[in-house]
Amino acid sequence: MELGMNLDFSQIVPSMPYILKGIGVTIQIVLASAILGFVLGVILSLCKISRNKPLQWFADAYTSVFRGTPLVLQLLLIYFGLPQLLGFDIAPFPAAVAAFGLNSAAYISEIIRAGILAVDKGQREAALALGIPYRRMMGQIILPQALKNILPALMNEFITLTKESAIVTVIGALDIMRRAYIVGGEKFAYLEPLIFAGLIYYVMVMGLTLLGKAVERRMRKGD
């Protein structure tokens, strides 16, 4: 298929399956990072609303650092910098998961913190008055309600993470972008494979967006 402006997608048709295999790598990185980010985000959010000042300071400092520096810098520090301290190399996949997970945790912690604070204070006071332990109160009463309210925001963070995952190409992970770049080098034509990669990301993001809207509609019906 040949278009104007010297675009010829027929030359990359044999390489399309190779680029499409990068979807699996991208999904694995995004899912692992999302799980790590969510778990750390919950912990950080609880630290932020804690009465323990050192925990508050640590959580705020963590969020400030990871939100105040570029994600690509954090990725490069983990992939290239940590081996200098540890004395052994880190593979692209765990380096990407660590960087994306730690970065995502900073944003998720703010989302969850806002969700917790949005829950009626009366429920917390009633639980404490009934003698319900703090952990049980947060785990069974406050957090479930908070998560229900912030699910759309969490879905948006997941979508953002999916798009930002493309920067793993700088450390050689064979994701969609890296494979498109390799095909471009082999064919001496980068525009077509990069456009194809962009289409893949667009379809993935639109799919996640529709999924998020469906979940949101279902939640509203459940209210």
Domains of the chain as residue ranges with CATH = 16-220 (1.10.3720.10)
Predicted model pTM: 0.87
Residue of 185, 201, 156, 165 lying closest to 93 (CA atoms): 165
Question: How much is the pLDDT for 223?
Answer: 59
Question: How much is the pLDDT for 140?
Answer: 78
Q: Which of the residue ranges 127-141, 146-160, 171-185 has the most confident prediction, judged by mean pLDDT?
A: 171-185
Cα 139 from Cα 116, distance rounded (Å): 11
Contact 150, 111 (CB under 8 A): yes
For residue range 14-54, list pLDDT tens digits in order: 999 999 999 999 999 999 999 999 999 999 999 998 889 99
How does the average pLDDT of the chain come out, rounded? Answer: 89
| Least reliable range by pLDDT among 36-40, 75-79, 127-131, 188-192 | 127-131
Cα 105 from Cα 59, distance rounded (Å): 10
* pLDDT band for position 222 (cuts 50, 70, 90): low
Torsion on CA atoms 26, 27, 31, 37, rounded to nearest 10: 30
Tokens 């049980």 correspond to 136
